[in-house]
Amino acid sequence: MANKKQNSEWFRSKRLMTEAFFELLKEKPKKRIQIKQLCERAGVARPTFYAHYDVIEDIPYEYYINTWLRSFSERVDQVLEKGLSFEEFSIQITECAIYYWGNQVDVYRSLKGAGMESVINQLFQEGSKLILEKTGRSRDLSIESHWFDLIIEIGAHSTFMSYELWVKTGMKRSAREIAILATILTAPDTMEKVKNYFGDKL
């Protein structure tokens, strides 16, 4: 019984802090959220925050890992089943990510205003890693570990840059067009050229 109560309190305090974070983000979209401020809004003690998180950015990161990335993973599996070319697969799955974050543009702008836009880039890195792992298994690709990490970073950064450009220009282009842009920046032949040029230097 005690363990159940402790688990209930654990999840309750996490939920309260998550709710408080997004409330404060909406109310003060261009101000840095302080841990003290968050704890006061959530009604929890400061040590409780550190029992769950290291830094304030961990809250939105964890929230979207448990929501967006889970559904994104399912979408990757669905698109893989279509047996598309690698290029078309890349476009469709990148479009899915761009479209989702297009609907979350207010959150992105608020995070950016609070100096936390790196959270979105980190999430894109997780998405890029997930795609590479799944395509690596399903297409039997062999990628050396140091290139694996580099491709993840480049893929995530290119998608993030394309998304930022989309937002800055008023989202006038379609999500697919932005996905095509991001895919061009990380096309397999581009990565092959990088690998051929640098060899084992990276």
Report pLDDT digits (tens) over 38-72. 999 999 999 999 999 999 999 999 999 999 999 99
Identify the pLDDT of residue 202: 45
CATH value of 2-55 in 2.60.40, 1.10.287, 1.10.10, 3.40.50: 1.10.10
List the domain boundaries for the chain: 2-55, 62-201
Burial 12-49 (b: 16+ CB within 10 A, else e): ebbebbbebbeebbeeeeeeebeeebbbebbebeeebb
The structure's pTM equals 0.82
Q: Which of 4-18, 138-152, 163-177 is predicted with the least confidence, judged by mean pLDDT?
A: 138-152
Report pLDDT digits (tens) over 104-163. 999 999 999 888 988 999 999 999 888 888 877 545 455 556 667 777 888 888 899 999
